[in-house]
Amino acid sequence: MPRFEYRAKDGAGQTVQGEVLAATSVEALQLLRGQDVLVTCLQEKVERVFNLSDQLTGWSRQWNLRGVSSKELVVFTHQLATLIRAGVPLLECLDILSSEGENPTLQQVVKRIRADVEGGTFLADALKRYPTVFHEFYRSMVEVGETTGRLDESLTQLAVYLDKQAQLRAKIFSGLAYPALLVAVAMIVLVFLLIWVVPLFSGLFQDMGESLPWLTQVVIDVAEGVRHHFFLLVTLLGTFVMGIRWMLKNQKSRQAIDGWVLRVPLLGSVIQKAATVRFARTLGFLVRRGVPLLYALGVAGTVTGNKVFEQSIKLATTGVQDGRPLSETLRARQIFPPMVPQMIKVGESTGSIDVMLEKIADLFEQEVDRTVATLTSVLEPFIILVVGCGIALVVVAMYLPIFSIGSVIG
């Protein structure tokens, strides 16, 4: 007989959890209701045995879950809010959305969520099983909507919030895309010169039998090294990339990297202001929905995208828990621009902290636009100069022996 795991609230409001034997989930719910508890989560317990095929499928599924874009998530949230507002039952909403859309990964996720909800699981709890698709803030807002009975309103506001976050991210990436493209093209051109062009001149110089200028010899040696150890260099580059990815997943190294990034001129300013926008918009959004400040701070810290900010917000939350004003604890951390705690202090004194946080987000979003424009205007000529010098160095090195021979003949 299947075994079901459950989490419930007893008569005193305390959370209890355990297991129950039942033929179906409906029967399990009936048995638990007979124990005078309110079931908040119910799912069948599966005894797992290691299977290589299943393990590979699971890994593949986790990889594919990363393929849901922010735009697709915004569309899904808007559609779900619209259907619920129209009075369509939640299970039917999930049925409709699981059969629509162009992303098969999202369709499969919605189908599994639908099955969990049908089994007695709250929507917010069902979303927690897919953290690569639905982040903590998303799940928290759905939980707030379910608790208050205004799920459609929460989803509508959540979609607007996600849309603004996506626009902010797009502005940053679009500003940095051109410099990144220049670097990529420069690397391709240099590798092409070293692998295919320089060896042609090298053979010509060997036939001449003359001693080569030191710059020419250095370039030829580098080209020979790249040609003979190309796959080794590619392997080292791949290892380096994998090492960076591992460091970004490790908490301590990620915090060290995030701290270093904040100290980079201009780029650090963009990261700081973008994190400020995410924090202020998220916190203001949650406070406006009636979420307790301590819980809202915990969620807002996780969406900043920077471990240094997240750790500082955790420490600030501890100060608020001890009875200190939020503006004072943030000022003590010195991680946000000085204007942020000052504006929050005004919001605290007027009782409109959510409105002030929204103004902070709008203000620093404009600052992000200006800083990205400045960063791009500085990077573009610098990269072009470096690329030009690199290519000119190779060309000059190849023509130096020809100039030397011409002067001797003359």
Tens-place pLDDT, residues 70-107: 788 888 888 888 888 888 888 888 888 888 767 788 88
Cα distances (Å, whole numbers) of residue 370 to 25, 45, 95, 403: 56, 53, 44, 48
Q: What is the mean pLDDT of residues 299-318?
A: 87
pLDDT in tens, 234-276: 898 889 889 888 887 777 888 888 888 888 888 888 889 989 9
- From CA 120, how far away is CA 136, in angstroms rounded? 21
Q: What is the phi-psi region of residue 212: left when phi exceeds 0, alpha when psi lies from -120 to 50, beta otherwise?
A: beta
CA dihedral angle for residue 266, residue 66, residue 94, residue 288, rounded to 10 degrees: -20
Beta partners for residue 340, in sequence order: none
pTM for this entry: 0.67
Q: Rounded to whole angstroms, how far apart are CA atoms 405 and 310?
A: 64
